[in-house]
Chain A
């Protein structure tokens, strides 16, 4: 329909709001990747020998691997020697006065609430001030390569919960890290995960002890600030038997003309009867709206292992990055374990997303649910890629997959590539898919009821994503909805 195309072409493109950079003195590694750099990183972090060995093993394996190109995304070759693998802002400080005012500005710009900002900027908060924040979200901020600070540590520690930066966890809880690191995503897993294993710099670590229900949302906020740096964070969350936790991650990056690589690994371990809910709102810089230049390559490996009677839920809202390549997956190892994946992926302008999940049913009576919503606008390309695999011993496995695409305009694309493998005849796998388009007629209909164009689009897109937003923690659901609105702003005349 020519008119709808025309109006949709007028997507003037809301500027990326988080594209600023801040001058903060950084401690950086030189360009390039070799064993020396890995030793440098490991040394900077004063890591134990076993971890350095693990990194080197990964690096040597990585040298034998080829970068995968099967994702439906086109991009020029990545120069792995042209990246700085370590960048750290000035060291942590003890009082608010000592905090680099530039770093404070960062949090101000990010809109992190004032009272929480004191904690985020690296001031060790006392019990008293923590009470005032009371927002119920503990935050770990990862700036470039290192965890800047973690709030509410003390309150969590009273319950035996560990929540801190990954490097800190290596120092304070080496036995836990060593026991679980690489058990879900082994160092040899795939090109980007292996690279991450070699060079990861920081990330978050959480451990919820047996039977403990974590009383607040745990949250990590990632930001890439420095130029030419890659971000390779590693997150490990372990919920011990009967424990439960809800975890959120958010991310932004400055606007730059070069592409920046973000190759993270997230491992979740849900032991017997445990529940982990992992939610992501990803808003990395998507590249220039008009030329497609720059932006983050978001090549991430996320996987959880679910033991008997446990449950893992992935919820993601992916609105940023030039390219998103991620498949948060569940290995349903234990009997009666449950895996869920709820996803909204939006590609606007020249963004490309190839995302989905893998549900591997190993245990008996395992169940999985996949709800994927792809939204494409401008020249955006959106691919759902998924695997549902029922192994021979997985009696009575159940899967339900729903995969919907929404198109705005006629220059964008939506693709689905579901893979289903059932090796047990009691398995039941359902797949439903739909593709729809926001039409000029729908928008006109809304307008004749007095509803403005932007509101009409937001209404339709929110309606489309409803089933996924429902799964997000409340504050995040509101944020996510706003973010979609902003990302689509100007998307239609």
Chain B
């Protein structure tokens, strides 16, 4: 049984136009998937719908996450069940320190699973370990979430949060955009490390470019056009796309 099973998922902006028009996707435990596609094809919407954003409504279809009906859960329940969304545009929350925020996040999930909440000392230990992994400065924890961060810092912060929260499935929405090559390598190494820490953990990458996939090698690559996954393949599909563009896929599918 897959960790995430999406069947015929259709969604639209509330009272607005349809964006997802029947997405089918199965991610098995331990797999890394990449969804590629043009702007406006519905990639980010898929991530947001999976995370439970209220601006969208699901009109059809089903999503099973780790054996449970995902669409019945609130966004925070989805998070506590082990789904993590790394945002394309992370939000700034002035006045709320990163450490306070992350401690609340970690402990909510622990409570949900009947585990004892981490004490301040235990949490600090965890956080220092993860900060070392991403080469982060100590001052970072006292800064307000994403406030005054550069684009690259924000993206790195998303993956850092994922490392701390330790989800089953990480949805990373264009985490590579805005990163220079060194930052990209650090972030990719972090993602790989999280992925390998547990044989169950899976990753879904959303990206425009093949570049990221040199560092995080996917098991499967999907092409999304107009709210549907129209082609899937192995990691080599990303290279073909890079070379021939998305129009090639569209034409190929149309020809069938």
Q: Which residues of A contact B (CB under 8 A)?
A: 3, 7, 436, 439-442, 444-453, 455, 459-460, 462-466
Contact = CB atoms under 8 A, between A and B. Distances in A.
A455 B80 CA distance: 15
A463 B75 contact: no
Name the residue among A436, A455, A463, A465 with the largest chain B CB count within 10 angstroms.
Answer: A463
Given A448-B79, A449-B161, A451-B76, A459 B94 contact: no
Contacts of A439: 91
B87 interface: yes
A444 B96 contact: no
B144 A463 contact: yes
A450 B85 contact: no
B91 A463 contact: no
A307 B107 CA distance: 50
Interface residues of B, number: 34
Interface in B74-95: 74-76, 78-80, 84-85, 87, 90-95
Interface stretch (B23-31, B48-56, B206-214, B241-249): B48-56
Residue from the set A444, A452, A455, A459 with the largest chain B CB neighbour count within 10 Å: A444
Contacts, number: 82
A481 B186 CA distance: 39
Contacts of B74: 447
Contacts of A464: 94-95
Interface string B104-133: 110011001000000000000000000000
B6 interface: no
Given A445-B91, A459-B104, 19 more contacts: A7-B54, A440-B55, A441-B91, A445-B93, A447-B79, A448-B51, A448-B87, A449-B79, A449-B105, A450-B76, A450-B79, A451-B104, A452-B108, A453-B76, A459-B100, A460-B95, A463-B93, A465-B95, A466-B95
B54 A449 contact: no
A450 B109 contact: yes
A78 to B, nearest CB: 38
B54 A440 contact: yes
A451 B78 CA distance: 11
22 contacts: A3-B14, A3-B54, A3-B55, A439-B91, A441-B91, A442-B91, A442-B93, A444-B75, A447-B52, A447-B76, A448-B76, A448-B85, A449-B101, A449-B165, A451-B76, A453-B76, A455-B104, A460-B93, A460-B96, A463-B95, A463-B144, A465-B95
A86 B87 CA distance: 61
Nearest to B85: A448
A463 B96 contact: yes
Contacts of A449: 79, 101-102, 104-105, 108, 161, 165
A450 B94 contact: no
A436 B144 CA distance: 15
Contacts of A436: 94
B54 A463 contact: no
B90 A445 contact: yes
A3 B54 CA distance: 8
Nearest to B104: A451
A465 B104 CA distance: 19
Nearest to B47: A448
B182 to A, nearest CB: 26
A459 B94 CA distance: 10
B101 A459 contact: yes
A459 B96 contact: yes
Given A444-B54, A459-B96, A452 B91 contact: no
A318 B165 CA distance: 37
Contacts of B101: 446, 449, 451, 459
A436 to B, nearest CB: 7
A465 B51 CA distance: 30
A452 B76 contact: yes
Interface in B32-78: 51-55, 74-76, 78
B146 to A, nearest CB: 9
